[in-house]
Amino acid sequence: MGASGYTGAELLRLLAGHPNFDLKVATGDSMAGESIADLYPSLAASYRDRCFDAYTPEVVDGLDVVFCGLPHGVSMGVIPDIRGKAGHIVDLGSDFRLHDKTLYPQWYGAEHTCPELLDEFVYGLPELFRPKLQGAELIAATGCNAATAIFALTPLLEAGLIDGQGMVVDIVTGVSGAGRPPKANTTFCAVDEDVVAYGLLTHRHTPEIEQALTERTGVATSVLFTPHLAPLNRGIIATCYARPAAGVEPTTEDAIEALQTVYRGEPFMVVSERSPSVKATLGANTVHLTARADPRTGLVMVIATLDNLMKGASGMAVQNANLAVGLPETAGLPTVGVYP
């Protein structure tokens, strides 16, 4: 559902090569009846004569998995109508990520219309919440910005190396994260040769980051989160700063070891001393991470990169679905990026 957007197109690409999933329905109400190949010629070889379908609740009857790639605020009005018609629902939007319904008016500017389902959704960050995702019926996939920060900070919090209060997360993100519909601030002339910070102090991914960090580590957290829009098609790099925990003087070796401890054996996680690059994750369902402890300032820095349309959205959604239906978690998901 919502297959005509960028995350929908990426899902179509992944499903075309998935060894177990077959596409049955691809709704895109703004493009219903239009050719998939005409909108996305990159998909033409796999969807030569396929058109986007119109949505009705009945189109999902009997499906094993439904992916919802809908704009914010739409899923909460749709999912109650389709729940029970399909085996598993993976929502790529933000409608069911927060447990506390009172946070939605504060961070999203509107009341939640379906708060009774908030506690029934499992937060979809596989490497950190895997047991809850196995067999889950309702999954709220993590936001791309939030995922990058959560992956970076969790291991150091869990190891007791950093203070959970006053952490700073600076993110540079690509334009595809704003979606396919044109906006004044995402046209070529607006973004080319420019970098701009946005969502100052109010970005909606802030409570999601804090919630996931606290839920996973048990540490009360507060985050100053600032994203920056850059002239990139896709990709995210998060540079995170934190003070050491009381009585702790972590070294760079301690910080990298904390990352390696949590992500050891994870097929999509790459931890090394290399400074991560956005391009290293292009087209892959991977996260690249490193860390440094600076004795001069007393701060600890963690850096993480991922592809916002892959590990930040559609790739993670497929990974969640694989877990939900009992398939190998890596099925249909590339670990090697595209270069140059």
The residues that are catalytic are 144
Give burial (CB, 10 Å; 0-12/13-18/19+) of 330.
Answer: middle
The length of the chain is 340
Q: Are 207 and 149 in contact (CB under 8 A)?
A: no
Measured distance CA(305)–CA(153) in Å, rounded:
13
Nearest to 154 by CA among 277, 238, 274, 280: 238
Q: What angle do CA 69, 74, 75 make, to 5 degrees?
A: 60
Q: Are 291 and 256 in contact (CB under 8 A)?
A: yes
Could you tell me which residues come within 8 angstroms of residue 38 by beta carbon, excluding any fewer than 6 positions away?
A: none
Q: Are 12 and 36 in contact (CB under 8 A)?
A: yes
Identity (one letter) of the amino acid at 23?
A: L
- CA-CA-CA-CA dihedral for 59, 70, 34, 36, to nearest 10: -100
Please give the C-alpha separations between residue 116 and each of 65, 99, 112, 113, in angstroms, as whole numbers.
22, 10, 9, 9
